[in-house]
Structure 1
Amino acid sequence: MVVLSSSTAAEECLVKNDIVFANRPKFIIAKHLGYNYTTVVTSSYGDHWRNLRRIGANEIFSPARLNATVNARRDEMRRLLTRLSNESREGFAKVELKSMLSDLSLNNIMRTVAGETVLRR
């Protein structure tokens, strides 16, 4: 973490030395979980990182791709709301949202990667 005390120091770091601050630290866990530092999260700034970022921006998070997967996200949201309403039929109920939101995220990712042909339980 870097704490800067002035705007000139911030400009020095973020404009003139931005590549130095764009690199990620080399943690051993990132080597094993990040496929030897080759993922967009663990790789250092350079040609490989720029290519991964471009693929993410143009292929995964493009408006066309997000529009193509809107039905899957809408369906997963509907399933979550149905599950919440079933648990509170008798009145107010305490629910754990952490696991439900985790399931929502994972299901959205899997349906986006696998496509709309994924059958659900």
Structure 2
Amino acid sequence: IPLPNTDDVYHLNKQSVMDWLVRVMWFLCNPECQLPVLVHCKSGKDRTGVVVGCILVLLGYQDHEILSDFLKTPRADRSKMCLALSFLRSKELMSQMPPAQAFYRFTEDVKTSQIASSL
């Protein structure tokens, strides 16, 4: 689900960005969406980081855990992700998101592949 390449992706209070992220989340949790899913953008940090950050918020991760992972990306901007995380935790945005349980299938798939790769 494309979003133009712009720094606005971190400004989740902007209606067009909020609508995009909500659409992405509902698409990803749809049982018809086959796993694995590739989430990408031009740099692999901005739109990708916000999408992955949102999934992690929904799964119950803390901001410091999400930031730690995000900052491993070259040229990652801590202040921009902190801004996005503050919006991600807003009641207005969270009320439009699928329930966390809808994303458990992602974690089950990861656990299964980790077990298989360790054999």
TM-score, normalised relative to structure 2? 0.23
Greater relative contact order (CA < 8 Å, ≥ 6 in sequence): 2
TM-score, normalised relative to structure 1? 0.23
Structure with max Cα Rg: 1
